[in-house]
């Protein structure tokens, strides 16, 4: 046995020694560079190459910091000098991204085929919007949901954050925005208010209602916060050390942290010291100022803070809201900047129920501080980026912000369950954002927490991070925000590396066609905010749907508007046009239905050309594509059926009614196929904070009632 082990070891050493060596010289290697170096080493090993340190004269790859006019912060240049590769960048972040690019090129092809390239970040700030469920006493907007309750413990798991941050670095994101109603009690000790700081992590054990207030008021109700389990025993000092460690790790991957709040919320203060939500309460104002100051004093790696006015500031004017915001957040930040002159800070003011000109004047003292960057945040596509590649909502805002810049809130409140992937849509979307006033973007949801996934049946433990399960989706928003010139061919190559035993071109086309079902549907059936429309469940809040269930039935599909920039005609406008003999250059509802059929059929055709696989991730991806395709067939028939119902109501032509019944009957069959496929690998029902309980099987009965509705007209 000993002899056998010696022979095996000798064989392994012999194989290792036969690997060709790639010598690397780095003039100065910080943590970001070491991370990327480890990444490229793994790629090279897969190509039977060994990365070794070398001096500058003998290295195959020379990595150096260089100040050149055409390189910006986080940018890099790769060039060839004979057989040697030279990577240059201004900073460690640029070196990291350049090494990741080299690694990707080698993974796609081979070392000898590395291409020269120069990249500078298109959007300087590329972040994630993360509604963070810290504690029942420090909730986010999303806490009244399964996804928040499941992920609360993960927020205090260091391994979660390191994996999350590493993945963001690979995707070229450079910040995380943590959104909370009132995070301070779980993050800092305020000397003047010592009894506020919270020990341990509480999760409510209340028998939750299905719906809570849309503006998240009431999450501090006694029945919620007083019934709890302790899911982690941890004192406030340990909490502080935890978040210091997490933020420091982010720095080592060029990923900054921000906290963004809604106002006025005082969750976790429990009425102590006379703190209330009253805007005129001087104790509350003082408490906020001191909490904000303490946040920056406690966390040396915290990059900035953001705020929203108006969510819970009832009964006061716009000017009074901004006066309160400046007197608390504004004054605190000026003091922070003056007391910490060696640090730079970013202050984010959401343009939400607010006038940018007045805000700029009110917060001028912040802009006057050399170490504060004051920027706006604007909800660019409301809650649905998957609606149209052009958006109408920012036009007046852009005219009124003067010399200031903004980051754009890009909301995906559409694709939670299923893996989405259409790079050409994302590229066009990003390129249509007004670049001159842009500082960057953050991408995320208000109805979902992109923490650790919980919906997959028979998942291995620990479960995947959401941004790993949805790797392609998150990669394309990050990478295309950094460089929107990345080609479709490169994305196909990335897929080929990920799934080496399949035809990446066919997979790319199938995935693209299925994914376009989301914007084509929502661009026609436009519920602009999250509680108005969730495509994977065909529902909203009941009041929006005009019924008790929240299901979007035929009547809802007739009544809902179209997105202004999607190029579609609404059903009522079609009915009127038919009655008056008019014409249109817009896509009619029946055109939209046909487009959905085409996307779904194309996806299914491409899927049929992909052989079966034992790769579990590829198998799950193909299943998602098929599931989305059948969802698309449902909406195609639903839109057509709703259109014929509306036409029949106007014309009383029996043919229209017959067509409606046929289409809605086929819609039912498509829905059943969709649900059957979705249930094969997903847990359902789930409880969400914006549209309540999403129950696919229960919804089937409501889908069937559409047929009865058409017959009864």
Report the distance separating Cα 678 and Cα 685, nearest Å. 11
Q: Which has the minimum average pLDDT: 65-74, 379-388, 703-712?
A: 65-74
Across the strands, what pairs with 378?
408
Report the distance separating Cα 656 and Cα 254, nearest Å. 59
| Helix extents (H) in 110-185 | 146-151, 158-171
Q: Percent of the chain at pLDDT above 90? A: 96
Token duo for residue 347:
């202050």
Token duo for residue 346:
């970013």
- pLDDT of 194 above 80: yes
Mean pLDDT of the chain: 97
Higher pLDDT, 487 or 11: 487
pLDDT given at position 571: 99
**pLDDT tens readout for residues 664-684:** 999 999 999 999 999 999 999
Report the distance separating Cα 396 and Cα 541, nearest Å. 29
Report the distance separating Cα 637 and Cα 521, nearest Å. 11
Cβ atoms 53, 15 nearer than 8 A: no
Contact partners, residue 391, CB within 8 Å, separation at least 6? 380, 381, 432, 565
List % helix, strand, coil for the chain (3-state, nearest 5). 50, 15, 35
The DSSP letter of residue 18 is H
- pLDDT of 4 above 70: no
User: 415: burial class by Cβ within 10 Å (0-12, 13-18, 19+)?
Assistant: buried
pLDDT band at 521 (very low <50, low <70, confident <90, very high): very high
Contact partners, residue 710, CB within 8 Å, separation at least 6? 554, 641, 644, 645, 648, 657, 660, 661, 664
Cβ atoms 146, 449 nearer than 8 A: no
Q: Helix 488-498 and helix 423-432: axis angle, to 10°?
A: 140
Report the distance separating Cα 62 and Cα 83, nearest Å. 11
Q: Report the first-to-last Cα separation within the chain, whole angstroms.
A: 83
| Helix extents (H) in 153-309 | 158-171, 222-225, 236-251, 282-298
CA distances from 251 to 122, 245, 575 (A): 21, 10, 57
What is the CATH code of the structural domain delimited by 125-497? 3.20.20
**Residue among 102, 128, 142 nearest 475 (CA):** 128
The DSSP letter of residue 516 is T
pLDDT given at position 363: 98
Contact partners, residue 655, CB within 8 Å, separation at least 6? none
**Residue among 80, 119, 74, 66 nearest 96 (CA):** 74
- pLDDT of 9 above 90: no
DSSP codes of every residue in 366-384: HHTSTTEEEEEEEETTTTB
How many H helices and E strands in the chain?
A: 26, 18
The DSSP letter of residue 141 is T
Cα of 658 vs its chain's centroid, Å: 43
Across the strands, what pairs with 374?
347
Cβ atoms 73, 96 nearer than 8 A: no
Report the distance separating Cα 26 and Cα 30, nearest Å. 10
- pLDDT of 16 above 60: no
Mean pLDDT value across residues 89-114:
99
pLDDT given at position 503: 98
pLDDT given at position 351: 86
Mean pLDDT value across residues 243-262:
99
DSSP codes of every residue in 658-691: HHHHHHHHHHHHHHHHHHHHHHHHB---EEETTT
pLDDT band at 19 (very low <50, low <70, confident <90, very high): confident
**What is the Cα Rg of the chain in Å?**
27
Cα of 670 vs its chain's centroid, Å: 29
pLDDT given at position 321: 96
What is the CATH code of the structural domain delimited by 21-119? 3.30.379.10
Contact partners, residue 264, CB within 8 Å, separation at least 6? 277, 279, 284, 312, 313, 324
Helix (H) or strand (E) holding 85: strand 84-89
Report the distance separating Cα 442 and Cα 295, nearest Å. 22
Mean pLDDT value across residues 311-334:
97
CB burial string 622-655: b at 16+ within 10 A, e below: bbbbbbbbbbbbbbbbbbbbbbbbbbbeeeeeee
pLDDT given at position 8: 45
The DSSP letter of residue 452 is B
pLDDT given at position 353: 62
pTM more than 0.95: yes
Q: Percent of the chain at pLDDT above 70? A: 97
- Give the residue extent of every domain in the chain: 21-119, 125-497, 508-712
**pLDDT tens readout for residues 136-155:** 999 999 999 999 999 999 99
Cβ atoms 264, 190 nearer than 8 A: no
The DSSP letter of residue 329 is I
**Residue among 324, 335, 253 nearest 292 (CA):** 335
- pLDDT of 10 above 80: no
Contact partners, residue 312, CB within 8 Å, separation at least 6? 215, 216, 217, 262, 263, 264, 265, 277
- pLDDT of 11 above 50: no
The strand pair at 686-688 and 692-694 is best described as antiparallel
The CA dihedral of 539, 545, 551, 556, to the nearest 10 degrees, is: -100
Mean pLDDT value across residues 585-609:
99
- pLDDT of 475 above 90: yes
Across the strands, what pairs with 259?
178, 305
Q: Helix 696-712 and helix 616-651: axis angle, to 10°?
A: 20
Report the distance separating Cα 675 and Cα 234, nearest Å. 42
**pLDDT tens readout for residues 349-379:** 998 766 899 999 999 999 999 999 999 999 9
The DSSP letter of residue 535 is T
**Residue among 498, 499, 472, 500 nearest 486 (CA):** 472
Q: What are phi and psi of 683, to 5 degrees?
A: -80, 135
């Amino acid at each position: 046995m000993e002899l056998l082990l010696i022979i095996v070891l000798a064989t392994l050493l012999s194989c290792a020694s036969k690997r060709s060596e790639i010598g690397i010289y780095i003039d100065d290697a910080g943590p970001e560079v070491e991370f990327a170096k480890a990444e490229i080493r793994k790629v090279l090993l897969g190509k039977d190459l060994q990365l070794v340190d070398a001096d500058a004269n003998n290295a195959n790859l020379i990595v150096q910091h260089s100040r050149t006019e055409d390189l910006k912060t986080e940018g890099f240049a790769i060039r060839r000098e004979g057989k040697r590769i030279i990577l240059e960048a201004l900073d460690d972040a640029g070196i990291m991204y350049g090494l990741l690019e080299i690694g990707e090129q080698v993974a796609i092809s081979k070392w000898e085929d590395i291409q020269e390239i120069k990249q500078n970040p298109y959007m300087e700030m590329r972040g994630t919007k993360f509604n963070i469920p810290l504690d029942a006493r420090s909730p986010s907007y999303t806490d009244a949901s399964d996804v928040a309750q499941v992920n609360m413990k993960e927020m205090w798991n260091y391994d979660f954050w390191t994996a999350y941050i590493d993945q963001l670095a690979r995707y070229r994101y450079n910040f995380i925005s943590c959104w909370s109603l009132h995070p301070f009690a779980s993050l800092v000790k305020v000397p003047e208010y010592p009894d506020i700081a919270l020990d341990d992590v509480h999760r409510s054990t209340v028998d939750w209602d299905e719906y809570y207030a849309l503006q998240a008021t009431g999450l501090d109700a006694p029945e919620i916060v007083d019934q709890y389990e302790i899911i982690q025993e941890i004192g406030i000092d340990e909490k502080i050390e935890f978040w210091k460690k997490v933020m420091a790790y982010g720095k080592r991957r060029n990923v900054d942290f921000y906290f963004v709040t809604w106002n006025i919320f005082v969750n976790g203060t429990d009425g102590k010291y006379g703190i209330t939500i009253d805007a005129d309460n001087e104790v509350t104002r003082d408490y906020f100022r001191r909490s904000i100051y303490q946040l920056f004093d406690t966390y040396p790696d915290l990059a900035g803070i953001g705020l929203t006015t108006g969510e819970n500031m009832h009964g006061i004017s716009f000017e009074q809201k901004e006066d309160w915001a400046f007197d608390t957040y504004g004054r605190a930040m000026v003091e922070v900047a003056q007391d910490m002159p060696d640090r730079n800070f970013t202050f984010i003011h959401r343009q939400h129920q607010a006038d940018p000109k007045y805000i700029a004047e009110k917060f001028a003292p912040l802009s006057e501080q050399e170490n504060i960057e004051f920027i706006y945040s604007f909800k660019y596509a409301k809650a649905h980026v998957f609606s149209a590649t052009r958006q109408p909502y920012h036009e007046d805002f852009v005219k009124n912000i003067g010399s200031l810049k903004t980051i754009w809130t890009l909301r995906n409140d559409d694709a939670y369950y299923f893996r989405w992937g259409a790079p050409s849509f994302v590229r066009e979307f990003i390129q249509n954002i007004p670049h001159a006033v842009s500082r960057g973007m953050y991408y995320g949801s208000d109805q979902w927490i992109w923490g650790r996934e919980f919906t997959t049946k028979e998942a291995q433990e620990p479960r995947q991070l959401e941004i790993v399960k949805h790797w392609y989706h998150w990669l394309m928003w990050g990478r295309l925000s950094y460089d929107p010139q990345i080609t479709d061919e490169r994305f196909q190559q990335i897929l080929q590396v990920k799934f080496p035993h399949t035809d990446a071109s066919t997979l790319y086309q199938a995935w693209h066609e299925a994914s376009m079902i989301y914007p084509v549907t929502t661009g026609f059936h436009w519920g602009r905010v999250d509680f108005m429309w969730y495509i994977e469940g065909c529902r909203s809040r009941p009041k929006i749907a005009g019924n008790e269930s929240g299901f979007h039935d035929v009547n809802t599909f007739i009544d809902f508007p179209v997105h202004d920039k999607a190029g579609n005609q609404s059903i009522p406008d079609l009915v009127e046009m038919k009655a008056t003999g008019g014409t249109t250059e817009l896509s009619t509802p029946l055109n939209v239905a046909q487009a959905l059929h085409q996307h779904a059929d194309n996806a299914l055709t491409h899927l049929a050309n992909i052989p079966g696989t034992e790769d579990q991730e590829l198998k799950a991806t193909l299943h998602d594509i098929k599931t989305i395709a059948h969802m698309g067939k449902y909406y195609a028939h639903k839109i057509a059926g709703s259109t014929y119902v509306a036409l029949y109501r106007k014309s009383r032509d029996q043919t229209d009614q017959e067509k409606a019944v046929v289409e809605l009957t086929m819609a039912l069959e498509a829905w059943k196929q969709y649900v059957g496929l979705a249930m094969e690998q997903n847990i359902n029902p789930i409880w969400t904070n914006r549209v309540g309980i999403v129950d696919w099987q229960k919804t089937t009965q409501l889908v069937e009632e559409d047929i009865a509705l058409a017959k009864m007209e």
